Structures are given as C-alpha cells and as structure tokens.
A and B are shown apart, each in its own frame.
Chain A
C-alpha cells in the first residue's frame, strides 16, 4: 500500500522493537497475521463493510466557506473525521485491529487511553465483536474525563485507573504493556496511535490511511485534482496526521503537497510545559520504538503538557520522526491559548465545535494563509468533535468574559 518499514520495522533510523523478550514472539505472530489478513480479500471486504455501515465512511469533505473568507480566500477543506461513529478518527483503527484480533483467535482486548477517545473507540469495537475489553487510563485522566470513563463502562469495558508515574497516558501505556506481557498468549493489545513496537506504527497507519485516500478521491471530484497545496493535521502520537499524510507523503517530490503537522506547544516551547516532541525534543526510545521524545539529559521521560489531553504525550510516532528528518513533512507548534482561540473561532464561523486536539491544526491556518495566498487549497484533518472538551474549555475559559477575552486577543 505505502512503503513498508524495513524488516526490523524501521523508518530510517526510527521505530524498531524495544520491548521485553516475552513480547517478541507475539509481535512476530502479529506481523504475520496482519500481512496474511491484508492479503485476504475477505478481510478487506469485511473491513470495508464495517467502515461503511458502522463507522459511517466515507467521511465528508466540507468546504469551510466562512473560515476561508476570514483567511483571505484560501480555500479550507475539512476532512470530517468528527462525523465518524464515536466522534473521532480513532475508530478507523480500532475496528481494524479488533477484526484482526478476532481472526487471530484472541479472546481478550486491552487498550491504553488518555482523554478516553481511543478507549471509547476500542470499547465500541470490542462490543461489536463480543470480546471483553480492559482499558488502562491514568488516574488523573479518569478524574478529568469522567464522561468518557462512563461511556466505556456503558460499552461493557472495564476501566483500570493507573496510579504510577504521572498518572496520565504515558503511564497508562506502560500498564497496558505490562498487562500484555502477562497475558500475551490470550490477549490482543489495541494501540491507539502510530507508536509502539513494530508492526504497530505500520498497522495503525495503514488503518488510518483511509482518511488520506478518501481525501484524494474527494478532491478530484471537487476541484479536479487529487493533490491540494497543503494538508494540515494536529500531532500527538500522530495517528490522524499519518492517516491523512501517508497517501501524499510518498508522492515524488514536486508532486507532494506541503504536509504540516501541528504539535502542542502548551504554555510555550520555552516554558518546558509542552508536548512538542519534534519541535523541541530529542531522539530516544519510548514504548518500544526509537522516536523524537521529551526526556531529561539523563534519559528520564519528562511529562508532557497540553490543554488537549489527546496531544498530551511525550513522544511521536517513528514515521513522523522520519518525515521530519527527511523534510517530507514540516512540524510546527501551537500553544494552548492559540488553540483555544481557534476552537472558539471555528464554532462561531462554521458551526462546528472541533476537538481541542484538532484546534491546534486550525490555529496554524492564519500563518499558512500568509504563506500560500488566496489561490490555494488546503485540507485540514478535522480529527474529532469537541463535545468531549466542552467542560475543559469552560474550566479554562471560565465564562463569557473569558471567551470575550480570547476573542479580542485573537483580533489584536
């Protein structure tokens, strides 16, 4: 489909399998099962059917006319992953992985989650296939995302609060890996982003790449060309971004659009409180792969910060790390305040409340409009809807005074 990583799961120097020996045979088994499944027309047909009938694909491509006007005429197209079942792109991957788990005869599903979107999407897929599901979630996130915790429980999943380390996504991931090491023979670990040991970054990319492939077809229909001038997506671990980038990334140079990944600058890159692994991190190994990450001089992973829980992760997928080094994609960072203003703005002018994660991508459009001018087509991956973030936005913005302050700042 797309260029494969090498036999050791490497994109350039990134990726690999830095995991306990116990898991290596399981990763070999998974790699073989995945290749066989992708070569089986029955698997492809079933996946396509689920994506159409249960997820609601293809997702729309919406021209954001008011936003485009505000930006001086540059045409902004929205790839509407927010309209998927469960409200985000995460489900594209979880139905694929759980279908594979079923095919492999695994009897138990586990997952990690930060804000809870991947947890909800995994619990949903597990419910569809009648498999028990355990979701690991940092205690801090359990507290902040009570609604998603309840959704997962409604869907029949067990939610295990994780009390180690920073009690957030990174520690939930550690705990999910510990569960997998312990129950490796019966259990399928559904990883939610393009991270983890090979074959996960490749597999998650392949399942998410439906976003970019649909975008190409839809652009051809709407503007008569398959390749826009730029594609913009937010990047935490990087699954929605890889999903829309991958089909464009390996086009020959010159035909490739600008691919722009927007990381979370949190309180600002200089503050140290951010989640910008590429913009401000260094190389290292986290959760089984070599990647850009946030770490101390001594190699201790440092906590990430973002107003958006889905970007609040101290690493980024190996394929993004490779794109960054090779100049295939550009990576920039947008701070909390800018993301909140963009969140507010899109709601006002387009009637769409985006996820706070996605709002980071929107916050970069003004800069991009200045660079590209009016005669350009730009696609933004609208990776998720913002209903889940309304409480957090209320907390941060406070009240209408806060909203007004945010608005006047954005004007100034």
Chain B
C-alpha cells in the first residue's frame, strides 16, 4: 500500500476529506518554500509540489506568476527533487509532483524514466501531469508502475463516461477531478457540478477522488469535502504567500472544513 493509499484511508476513517495543499516549488525562494511546505504539512494529508514550467497552460495567473518567480530564482528540476528529499527527511506524508510533460520528457539523459526514478529516489510518491492525458502516457505509466510511483490523471466536467473509465483505469493513489471547465484559480463559489461529477467518477472506480480548481477557503472547501475524498487547494495558498498573509491560519481553516461533522 502506497503512502497515498494510507493517507486517504486514514482520512476516511476519521470521517473527513483529505486536505491536499499545492505549493509551487521554489516560490518565492527555496528556503521560503520549504518553510511554507512545513506550515501546510502540519494540516495536510498529502502535499502537492508544483515543479515550475515556463508555459503552464492549465494554470491561472496566480500559479503562472509563482512559477515565473521560481524560475527567475533559478529553480531546476534537480533542485526541486532536492527540496522533496529535504521534506521527506522530515515527514512521512505523501508528496506528489505536479508538472507539465516537457520538463519530464527533456529530463537529463534518462528522459521520463530518469525523471521518475530520481523523483522516487528523492522520496516522491507520485506524479500529476495536467497536459498528459492517459492516451499519451503509456510509457510513463509503465515506468511508474515498475518503480512504485502512483500516477494521478485528471477527469474534467467534459469527460464522457468512456473517458472517465479510461482516466480512472490509469490512476493509482487517487483520481483528480477538475471541478470546472477552466484553469486553476481561487473562485468565489464551488461549482454546482461537483456532486454529479464525483458521482460519475465513483461509478467508474473505487479509488479516492480529490477535487481541485476553485477551492479557496472553508466556505468553498466544505461542500467539496461533503462529497469527495480529498480537497485540493493551490492558488488561494499561493496568493496568501504572495501577499504575506497568514498561511497557517488559512491551512488550518481549510483542514477544519474538510472534517465532515463540521460541514
């Protein structure tokens, strides 16, 4: 059983949705990122680490800007693995890398296989690649299975039942349900599509389902936590860091909203 399986199982046993924060590695600096990661890990079940990419076409302005800052600060793929290694020495909570396919494809001598091996060696538990649908991910899936990394693919509101089946079959650890047609970013209200979306995915798989895109606080997290196994929050955390806000308070608030008795 992977760390990810264990984390979702434990959250379920405690009648809550898992809290899955996303932070951009190296934003605003390496050390500040590590400090922020420790802050959110205190409340989180699983950490999503964004490996910055120059052309993040699935991301809204907040995460785009954080990626630009990280890259301007000189973050490299090897540097991100090193940050994961540091965090791994401090926590047993699962760490999943979210990035785009090109940094993986172009990685060192080994390309995608080398990327996955080095991620696993650094203590990472899985990958999420928003621009790599399972149709194109054959070799990534094979390599990840071989070395014991989980592969998390995304379903969308536009996914047909056939697509949902294809995507969930390719997933290990959990399924990432995108709550809206759109890019990442904090939103005022939770999409009304979420319950039906989660229902459609549940028909296809027994894997935990984490919902992301648009969750920004307790008010938007609670309705998601009521129907899904996990709540992913990224842009709202990044914005709080960028604005010098209270990250610990926001993470605590959202983690609280993930407890169903409080929903």
Instruction: Determine if A288 is an interface residue (Cβ-Cβ < 8 Å).
Output: yes
A298 touches B76 (CB 8 A): yes
Q: Are A182's CB and B131's CB within 8 A? A: no
Asked if A295 is at the interface (CB within 8 A of a chain B CB), the reply is yes
A16 proximal to B (CB < 8 A): yes
Give Cα A283–Cα B136 distance, bound, in whole angstroms. 16
Interface on chain B toward A: helix, strand, loop, or mixed SS? loop
**Chain B residues closer than 8 Å to A298, beta-carbon distance:** 76-77, 103, 106-107
B55 within 8 A of A: yes
Distance in angstroms from B203 CB to nearest chain A CB is 17
Cβ-defined contact, A300 with B131, below 8 A? no
The answer to whether B58 and A20 have CB atoms under 8 Å apart is yes
Task: Report whether B54 and A300 are in contact in the complex, using a CB–CB cutoff of 8 Å.
Answer: yes
The answer to whether B82 has its CB under 8 Å from any CB of chain A is no
Q: How far, in whole Å, are A22 and B178 apart by their CA atoms in the complex? A: 8
A17 and B178 in contact, given A170-B55, A178-B57 (Cβ under 8 angstroms): no
Query: A109 to B130, alpha carbons, bound, how many Å?
Result: 25
B158 and A184 contact, CB distance less than 8 A: yes
- What 1/0 mask marks residues of chain A from 163 to 174 whose CB sits below 8 Å from any chain B CB? 011000011001
A301 touches B181 (CB 8 A): no
Q: Within A297-328, which residues are at the interface with B (CB < 8 Å)?
A: 297-301
Q: What does the 1/0 interface line of B65-104 toward A look like (CB < 8 Å)?
A: 1001001000011000000000000000000000011111
Residue of A nearest to B71 (CB): A300
CB-based contact B181/A185 at 8 Å:
yes
Residues of A within 8 A of B65 (CB): 164
Contacts of B213-233 to chain A: CB distance below 8 A: none
A165 lies within 8 A of B133 (CB): no
Most chain-A CB neighbours within 10 Å: which of B57, B130, B178? B57
The residue on B at minimum CB distance from A295 is B106
Task: State how many angstroms separate the Cβ of B152 from the closest Cβ of chain A.
Answer: 12
Asked whether, in the complex, the Cβ of A165 is within 8 Å of the Cβ of B54, the reply is: yes
Q: Which of B132-189 contact A (CB under 8 A)?
A: 132-133, 135-136, 153-160, 163, 167, 178, 181-183
Question: By the criterion CB–CB under 8 Å, are A21 and B167 in contact?
Answer: yes
CB of A299 within 8 A of CB of B131, answer: no
Decide yes or no whether A143 CB sits under 8 A from chain B. no
Contact A21 B102, beta carbon cutoff 8 Å = no
Shortest C-beta distance, A191 to chain B (Å), equals 13
Contact of B155 among A21, A26, A283, A296 (CB under 8 A): A21
Complex alpha-carbon distance, A156 and B58, angstroms: 28
Interface residues of A in 72-91 (CB under 8 A from B): none
Q: Is A213 an interface residue (CB 8 A)?
A: no
Measured CB to CB, the nearest residue on chain B to A293 is B102
- The CA of A402 and the CA of B55, in the complex, are separated in Å by 38
Chain A 255-290 interface mask (CB, 8 Å, partner B; 1/0) = 000000000000000000000000000111111101
**Residues of chain B contacted by A299 (CB below 8 angstroms):** 53, 77, 102-107
Which residue of B61, B102, B158, B163 is within 8 Å of A285 (Cβ)? B102
Query: Would you mind naming 5 contact pairs between A and B with Cβ atoms under 8 Å apart?
Result: A22-B182, A24-B159, A164-B64, A165-B64, A296-B106
